Amino acid sequence: MTTLTIEIPDKSTKTIIELISQLGGKVVTDGIEVKKQQVLDDIEEAVVFIKDYKAGKVKAQDINQLLDEL
């Protein structure tokens, strides 16, 4: 296996990590930027879900269903 060191824009991190994972590769990072980007992505996903919920496009689970998944 070949080891590469690359620098990419923060906005591309998630896409590149997913691509490398799909290709069977392993991503080793300093972790801080990836965790920060993951948190921002999760918040963005939550905001989209809340907007869709308020618009009636999606239905939320009740607390018991959510706890059963954990």
Q: With respect to residue 22, please indicate whether it lies within any of the assigned structural domains.
A: no
The domain total for the chain is 1
Domain that holds residue 66: 29-70
Q: With respect to residue 61, please indicate whether it lies within any of the assigned structural domains.
A: yes
Q: With respect to residue 2, please indicate whether it lies within any of the assigned structural domains.
A: no
DSSP structure class, residue 57: S
Q: With respect to residue 19, please indicate whether it lies within any of the assigned structural domains.
A: no
Q: With respect to residue 11, please indicate whether it lies within any of the assigned structural domains.
A: no
Mean pLDDT, the chain, integer: 83
- Taking only the tens place, the pLDDT of each residue in 16-36 is 888 888 998 877 776 665 677
Encoded tokens for 2: 């070949």
CB 47 within 8 A of CB 67: no
